[in-house]
Structure formats: C-alpha cells, structure tokens
Amino acid sequence: MRRACRLLGLSTSAPYYQPRGRDDAPVIDAVSKHVTDNPGHGFGLLYDSLRADRQPWGKSWLWRVYKQLRLNLPRRSKRRLPARIARPLDIPERPNETWSADFMADALWSGRRFRTFNVIDDFSREALRIEIDTSLPSGRVVRALDELIELRGRPQRLRLDNGPELISHALAQWAQKNLIELCFIQPGKPTQNALIERFNRTMRTEVLDRYIFNSMSEVRQMLEDWRHRYNHQRPHSALGGVPPARYAVAHSTPSSTSE
C-alpha cells in the first residue's frame, strides 16, 4: 500500500479516507426561509444575514446549498396584469379621436439593436409619429406623445398593448393629466390592435426588411421619408385608394381636433 501510494503521489492515509456526511436540511430550511421572506436578496445579502444571526455554516457550505437549490440562476418575477376587457375594434368617426401605438425592433448592419415607437390615427390611418432609438423607456414615450399633442391636438383615447413601457406609472399619470383614456388590449390578442399591427407589417416589408442600415441617422432619415410618402402619396386600400393625409383632410371638421 505504501509503495502504491508513493507511485501515485498520494498520502498513505488517502485509501482509508471516509467522507463525513453533512446534514443539509437545516441549511436548506434557513436559505429557503430567507429567500421567501426576501425575494430580492442575492447570495451576498443571504450570507451577511445568516452571519448576523450567528449561524454556524460557512460561506462554501452556504454557496453549495444555494447552487443546489438553483438560486444562483436569474429569478424573474412576473408582474400580474389587471384584467383586460375585450374591446371591439371600432373605427372612429373623425380624425384625432383614437390613436394606436406599438413598438417594433430591428438591427443595424453592425448588429446594434434599435426600436421604433409607432403612433397612427385609427380614422385616417395616418402615421403620426415614428420615434427611433436604441432604447425607448416610458419617459421617452411620454415626451414623444407630448410633442405629438402639440402638433396634432389631444386624442380621446389611446389603444395599446401590454408592453412594460406602456403599462408604466409614468404613462398612466400622463394620460390622467391629459384626460386621455388608455385602452389596453387583452394579452395575446394582437387582432384587437389590428390597425397598428397592419401598419407595422407595411413598414417592415417596405423599409426595414428591404434596406441595410449602417447608422441610426440612416434609419431616422429613411423612415421619416417613407412616413411622408405613406401619408401623402401611398394609396390605402381601406380608404378607397386615397392616401391617409388626403382622406383626413376630406373628412375633417372643425371639431376634429380636441382642445
């Protein structure tokens, strides 16, 4: 045995080693209780809290149990949405009564991602705004809508899906301040927002999937030029072959724009 251990470079006591069993049940109970009470805490806060409670387990022991419980993986809590009521897709009777808004995403040739925030008028199908940037948080959305109201006036309602930027507290405060009703579609029911979804498809097939963009300035210039052509030159089948801007002018009344 001594010669074999010497050849293998092992201690002579190695063949007689018997691992000691560890009872992980108290550690599992303590870790589970802490994570349940403090779902936002990571391992660092867990270790500091147990040390403050004078628990006897070391950092390596806690980390091994922490990984066995798969708590080292990212944990995402789901935000419960309020109940959404199915709303029929009614076409407004005049311009500036209902707007629809949605997000789209694409990438530059370099792989850098960007997003667009699209707003259309449901009556005339006009593309009112295409906000473009690499990030469009709720504050940027509110600013874009404020600028749009200065140009177009205030709509009565805004139809949206349940994206995180659109269900934010900032947008809810903005809508309450401006007396605008937020009409949220049911989750997983894009047909309830079919007008903006149809616009998104047209924008993707005619611009985003057709050209290669090297910079954000190219994206902004191309989409703004296309938005002008879409509103003033492109015939719209749902409007009897009339461009949206011409259709809006033909059906506008003095009360079309909300004050």
Let me know whether 114 and 160 are in one domain. yes
Intervals of the chain under pLDDT 70: 21, 73-89, 253-259
Is this prediction's pTM over 0.95? Answer: no
Residues 136 and 45 in one domain: no
Nearest-angstrom CA–CA distance, 167 and 160: 9
Q: Look at the chain and count its residues.
A: 259
The pLDDT assigned to 257 comes to: 43
Note the pLDDT of residue 95: 87
Place of tokens 């006009």: 126
**Residue numbers of the domain that contains 162:** 98-250
- Give the pLDDT confidence score for residue 191 in this predicted structure: 83
Do 116 and 41 lie in one domain? The reply is no
Do 181 and 59 fall into the same domain?
no
Distance, CA of 67 to CA of 146 (rounded, Å): 48
236-256 in b/e burial notation, b at 16+ Cβ within 10 A? beebeebbbbbbbeeeeeeeb
- β-pairing verdict for 98-107 and 113-121: antiparallel
Residue (of 85, 66, 61, 106) closest to 223 by Cα position? 106
Element (H, E) at 235: none
Q: Is residue 196 part of a domain?
A: yes
Give the per-residue pLDDT at 50.
87
Task: Verify that 105 and 193 share a domain, yes or no.
Answer: yes
Together in a domain, 43 and 142: no
Domain count, the chain: 2
Same domain, 119 and 56: no
For position 131, which CATH number holds? 3.30.420.10
Per-residue DSSP letters for 54-93?
Answer: T----HHHHHHHHHHTTTTS---PPPPPPPPPP---PPPS
